[in-house]
Amino acid sequence: MSSTPQKTSSRKQEHVELCVQERVSFRKKTSGFESIALRHNALPEIDLSDVSTETSFLGKKIAQPLMISCMTGGYADAERINRELAEVCAECQIPMGVGSQRQALEKTDFHESFRVVRKAAPSLPITANIGGAEVAKPRVREQLRAIVDMIEADALTIHLNPLQELLQPEGSPRFRGVLAGIEEISTTIGVPIIAKEVGAGLDADVMQRLFNAGVHILDVAGAGGTSWAGVEILRSTGNAPEDPYKEAFWDWGLTTVECLQAASALRSTDESFRQRAFIIASGGITSGLDVAKSLALGANMAAAARPFLQMLMEHGQKALASMIHGWHFQLRGAMFLTGSTNVEAMRLGNTSNNVQGL
């Protein structure tokens, strides 16, 4: 079933409203970070002032390895939301991704809801966004440079969401040809590609196939945070009782920790993957300690969406900035307490003793 531009905009707004107002977390499954402990070092032999969380992403320096992940755009209030998010990102010096720009390919009404991000954050890494099912279509692939140029994006995120498309009332569960489309885009688009799940995770086989297709930035987006199956179930049932057949998929997916462990295993067996793959941990990232644990498990960076959106919508920009600074404090504290002076030192490849119980 195809969507009209009006339906696409309405769906985007419903997604944001549900993520803020409804309980759409996984019900039984967690990200797995609660089972990971960072090993305390009582003799770190460094000062807190020695600890630097600065790193680079897409060729630009950022204050910490944390990103506000792809969320929204393409309807009236999205311009305000994206502007406010981007302004906080500019203050905190962290990257940001926009939501799917499919609507921007269908209609010009809300292009400013995407453009505003670059205007508010002129020097930060910003990523464009399109759905995986769309890149299987030759006519869409021909248009993708336009959405990159629209926001002067540093990369294009392709989100892989077969579970969401399966359960979405107006979904498009047609994924034949997606990998071939991604491989073509990776050689023609002119910016790096980020392949990202949306809450069900990337396993080792998928990561390897994407890497072989030319995608070297992989956002595992595992289970444990927002259940997009849950979001779509709530959208399809409204005030009616939930569909018991669809509800069976509410907790579907690989946890974020499982995905990070799979990526680490790939690095141990594939030299090219070890040297060139850039792993983003997302899915249930709820604190700076989760960011630190992600790094210790081998991720290059972490990302989150819903916790930041909720804080912005409920308490405003000042509270969101305070939250991000608080996560930064937790990350620096964890690095200090494990004796890690920089992001690379925190990562599993250099400091395997940072994690207990693995």
Q: What is the pLDDT of residues 161-197, one digit of tens each?
A: 999 999 998 888 999 999 999 999 999 999 999 999 9
Decide if pLDDT at 265 tops 60: yes
Decide if pLDDT at 214 tops 90: yes
Distance CA 349, CA 300 (A): 11
Q: Span 248-267, mean pLDDT?
A: 97
Answer positive or negative: Cα dihedral of 194, 166, 261, 95.
positive
Distance CA 150, CA 102 (A): 13
Q: What is the pLDDT of residue 350?
A: 42
Say which CATH topology domain 5-356 has. Answer: TIM Barrel (3.20.20)
Which amino acid is located at 77 in the chain?
D
Q: What is the pLDDT of residue 1?
A: 40
Confidence of residue 60 (pLDDT cuts 50, 70, 90): very high
pTM: 0.94
Q: What is the pLDDT of residue 352?
A: 52
Q: Span 305-309, mean pLDDT?
A: 96
Confidence of residue 353 (pLDDT cuts 50, 70, 90): low
Instruction: Give 210-265 as a DSSP string.
Output: HHHTT--EEE---BTSB-HHHHHHHHHHTTSPP-HHHHTTTT-S-BHHHHHHHHHH
Decide if pLDDT at 19 tops 90: no
Alpha helices by DSSP H, the chain: 5-21, 78-92, 102-106, 112-120, 132-135, 138-141, 144-150, 162-167, 178-188, 204-212, 228-237, 244-247, 256-269, 271-276, 288-296, 306-315, 317-337, 343-346
Q: What is the pLDDT of residue 356?
A: 66
Confidence of residue 7 (pLDDT cuts 50, 70, 90): low
- The per-residue pLDDT for range 220-257, each reduced to its tens digit, is 999 999 999 999 998 887 656 667 889 999 999 999 99
Q: Span 102-112, mean pLDDT?
A: 90
Work out the percent of the chain whose per-residue pLDDT is above 70.
Answer: 93
Tokens of 109: 């009404």
Q: Where are the domains of the chain?
A: 5-356
What is the pLDDT of the chain when averaged over all its residues?
93
Q: What is the pLDDT of residue 351?
A: 42
> Which secondary structure element, helix H or strand E, spans residue 37, and what is its range?
strand 37-38
- 72 phi-psi bin (left φ>0, alpha ψ -120 to 50, beta other): beta
Decide if pLDDT at 4 tops 70: no
DSSP 354: G
- The per-residue pLDDT for range 136-160, each reduced to its tens digit, is 999 999 999 999 999 999 999 999 9
CA-based diameter of the chain, in Å? 61
Distance CA 238, CA 240 (A): 5
Distance CA 203, CA 188 (A): 26
Least confident of 190-199, 202-211, 238-247, 329-338: 238-247
Q: Which residue has the higher pLDDT, 18 or 207?
A: 207
Residues 6+ apart with CB under 8 A from 30: 224, 255, 284
Tokens of 183: 């491989």
Q: Which residue has the tokens 């921007």?
A: 104
DSSP 92: H
**Are the CB atoms for 63 and 121 separated by under 8 Å?**
no
